[in-house]
Structure 1
Amino acid sequence: MGCIHGKCCSRYPSSSDGDNKDEMGVHPGENTHILANRSVDIVDVPSHNYRLAYSFITQRGYYPETPEKENQDSFCIKTNIQDNPNVHFFGVFDGHGLMGTQCATFVKDRLVEILSNDAALLDDPVKAFSAAFLATNDELHNSDIDDSMSGTTAITALVIGDKLYVANVGDSRAVLAVKEGNNKVLAQDLSYDQTPFRKDECERVKLCGARVLSVDQVEGLKDPGIQFWGDEETEGGDPPRLWVQNGMYPGTAFTRSVGDSTAEKIGVVADPEVSILELKSNHAFFVVASDGVFEFLSSQTVVDMVNKYGDPRDACSAITGESYKLWLEHENRTDDITIIIVQIKDLTNV
């Protein structure tokens, strides 16, 4: 099939088990601005005689102070890249800033197009991925979109035969489910959030001139000399952010993105980290999702939830509902939430 782009509104559909309304829970703004898959799409990978079955949901966040705020998440699924039945792409793009929606839409369109047009894609997918991200970033800078204080993160997965390539910029995430024994399924992260919580990323942006401080530190409520912020799970409410030396901007909580031309001057880059994995028969599925999912759900929790459902539509619904509920338990708003679940079926290698 062609490219599926998630930037429109739709009423939440029925699942294979009937009405899913109760599973979503009752929350402010429920069932508004949702695009969900009405069927499970299946694509073959004939080179290794297996199939991918996938579904998705994207839901606008609940923003009581800006009720008309757009869903700044976007996504793209493109199968049979270069007319090759063994090459398939899945990506989620989480826009931010005043022009975040436009940035995410631009990037999900151009990234996969540039990747698809790269004649060297199958020879060197890692190089092609990096080149596509950097070219898309340059095009965004030179477009009519003001990306000085706006941009998008991007988590993308490319299946080529029995290889899975995951390219990431930012703090969205891809996770693989690995079956161990009869009943155990373990989460294996395929990407690592690029934030100042990571020591390597923190040091990299400091060398580029960034001040790394939490909002409380910038505002003088905490000692700026303490350059230790704990971990993301315990200190996520006031995370370390990037600031120019003599200003109170841009305040990004991530160290890589596409766009963000101001933050680029202090070390935020569009160069992706790319991981490579050989798919095996004990790999059940993988998840590609925005940080709206992972803010309050661990990778293992997400895998455990998906594993409860045979139908990825139901799994998408359950995770979206649980994420939404947890946001409102911890804050007075929710983030935009986007998730793609891809089941790996009938793969027989070991």
Structure 2
Amino acid sequence: MGCVHGKCCGRSPKSLDGDNGEFQDLGKYTCHGKHILANRSLDFVLVPSKNFRLEYSALTERGYYPDAPDKKNQDSFCIKKNIQGNPNVHFFGVFDGHGHFGTECSNFVKNRLIEILSGDPTLLDDPVKAYNSAFLSTNEELHNSDIDDSLSGTTAITVLVIGDKLYVANVGDSRAVIASKDGNQIISKDLSHDQTPFREDECERVKLCGARVLTVDQVEGKSDLSIQTWGDEETEGADPPRLWVENAMYPGTAFTRSVGDSEAERIGVIALPEVLTVQLTPNHLFFVVASDGVFEFLSSQTVVEMVSRYTDPRDACSAIAGESYKQWLQHETRTDDITIIIVHIKELSNVPTSLM
């Protein structure tokens, strides 16, 4: 959802051109027929310690804002293989910038987070501690950089693969989802939980830090200020509760954690991630890492079912981006930036292998 100041987007589908999150224009977009990533080979990486491989693809598409057609894509992503030279350690991350300098914040965090994480000698011994340290250090560096992050920043959803374990670190309202086979069904499981005022624990935490939690209508005097229940994101997404400083109409963030947003830090917005650990099993088929441009109108289960229809993650990326774009235009006059990484888990078995 970003902040009340909006996200910077433009109109033109883009796709991955290398593992650093850069992209190239591939012409007319379509969610049917051949995928728009067909001119590049399918990417994969081996995890030799557990004798399986990951096949993956990614796509980022600028949003469509009719009032600002030249706005930049504020999403970015990072795919980094063989962290610290270790063939069993790999990283996948999506970063959703917001505010006037959202693009700059997103790209700064994309680059520095993985650099700091890769340089941490404790990474393999204590991945959770290393994650926490990397996020907080990146946040501090962003504050001290030449980028004005007072009312700009980025969310971050990242997956670190270490052998057959996933470490999922989330800051904000993007999402990671894993798919499991259960008999004849494929079931989705969220690997992150959106950090927004809809969550009672997060709402109370920021209130204790001095945040006013109100919708835009409430701040503008159109709704009763005493109302402090907002339903859920599915039904109240059009005017969500936001965070405001006392007696002012800023920063208006619809999330409770981010990297950057130095003004919002005064009222409880923090860069400390929530980290979830997942032990992979042969029933796990794939995982998805995506910005809220995908999940605003598509449920986790819908996304998993769409991915399962395609053997090639390039096709699945294109189909989901296309459906997300369609859903946005059915509900809004614009679309958000849309970024998705799909990672298939191939040939994982229960057969023991040598330790890392």
Contact kept? 1:196, 1:255, Cα under 8 Å: yes
Other-structure match for 1:16 = none
Segments of 5+ residues of structure 2 without an aligned counterpart are: 1-16, 352-356
C-alpha RMSD over aligned residues = 1.9
Separation in structure 2 between the aligned mates of residue 83 and residue 51 of structure 1, nearest angstrom: 17
Deviations for 1:12-44, whole angstroms, at most 9, x for unmatched residues?
Answer: 59xxxxxx735289xxxxx9xx98982211100
The one-letter code sitting in structure 1 at the alignment partner of 2:278 is: L
Shift of 1:282: 0.2
1:23 pairs with one of 32, 35, 39: 32
Residue equivalent to 2:49: 47
- Which residue type is aligned with residue 335 of structure 2? T
2:257 paired with 1:248: no
Distance 1:243 1:335, change over 3 A: same
Question: What SS class does the counterpart of residue 4 from structure 1 fall into?
Answer: coil
- Say if 2:211 is the partner of 1:210: yes
- Cα displacement string for residues 57-114 of structure 1 (whole angstroms, at most 9, x for unaligned residues): 0000001100000000000000000000000000000000000000000000000000
Counterpart pick for 2:80 among 75, 78, 81: 78
1:295 — aligned with what? Answer: 296
2:25 paired with 1:10:
yes
Distance 1:100 1:91 in 2: 16
Q: Deviations over 1:281-324 (max 9, x none)?
A: 00000000000000000000000000010000000010000000
Q: Give secondary structure in 2 for the equivalent of 1:349.
A: coil
Contact 1:37-1:56 within 8 A present in 2 as well: no
The structure-2 alpha-carbon separation of the partners of 1:333 and 1:37, relative to structure 1 and needing over 3 Å to count, comes to farther
Corresponding residue of 1:316: 317
**Aligned pairs for 1:109-188 within 5 A:** 109-181=111-183, 183-188=184-189
Equivalent residues of 1:24, 1:320 under 8 A apart: no
Give unpaired runs (5+ residues) of structure 1: 14-19, 26-30
Q: Quote the sequence identity (%).
A: 73
Distance 1:327 1:173 in 2: 18
Partner of 2:19: helix, strand, or coil? strand
Q: Which amino acid aligns with 1:51?
A: R
Letter in 2 for 1:61: G
- Structure 1 residues 110 and 35, CA gap change in structure 2 (3 angstroms): farther
- Deviating beyond 2 angstroms after TM superposition, the runs of 4 or more aligned structure 1 residues are 5-9, 34-39
**Distance in 2 of aligned mates of 1:260 and 1:190:** 24
**C-alpha offsets along residues 145-190 of structure 1, whole Å, 9 cap, x if unaligned?**
0000000000000000010000000000000001101x20000000
> Matched residues in 2 for 1:12 and 1:23: separation?
14
The whole-number CA distance in structure 1 between the counterparts of 2:297 and 2:346 is 29
Q: What is the alpha-carbon distance in structure 2 between the residues aligned to residue 24 and residue 107 of structure 1?
A: 35
Total equivalences in the alignment: 335
Aligned counterparts of 2:76 and 2:27: Cα–Cα separation in 1: 17
> 1:23 corresponds to which letter in structure 2?
H
Instruction: State the SS of the aligned residue for 1:5.
Output: coil
Once residues 39 and 206 of structure 2 are traced to their aligned partners in structure 1, the CA distance between those partners, rounded to angstroms, is 39
- The TM-score, its normalising length taken from structure 1, stands at 0.93
Note closer, same or farther for the CA distance 1:35–1:255 as it changes in structure 2 (3 Å cut): farther
Contact 2:43 2:56 in 1 (8 A): yes
Q: Quote the Cα distance in structure 2 between the aligned partners of 1:347 and 1:275.
A: 21
Residue-by-residue CA offset, 1:259-278 (whole Å, 9 max, x unaligned) = 00000110000000000000
Measure, in 2, the Cα distance between the counterparts of 1:321 and 1:211: 37
Aligned partner letter, 2:20: H
Cα distance in 1 for residues equivalent to 2:30 and 2:307:
18
TM-score, normalised via structure 2 length: 0.91
Residues 216-259 of structure 1: CA deviation (Å, up to 9, x unaligned): 11111110101000000000000000000110000000000000
Whether contact under 8 Å (1:156, 1:168) holds in the other structure is: yes
Q: Distance in 1 between matches of 2:307 and 2:148?
A: 38
Q: Is the 8 A contact 1:10 1:36 kept in 2?
A: no
Could you tell me whether the CA contact under 8 Å between 1:93 and 1:154 is conserved in 2?
yes
Question: 2: CA distance between counterparts of 1:199 and 1:22?
Answer: 37
Aligned residues of 1:12 and 1:35 also touching (Cα < 8 A): no
CA distance, structure 1, for counterparts of residue 107 and residue 275 of structure 2:
22
Counterparts of 1:60 and 1:230, CA distance in 2: 30
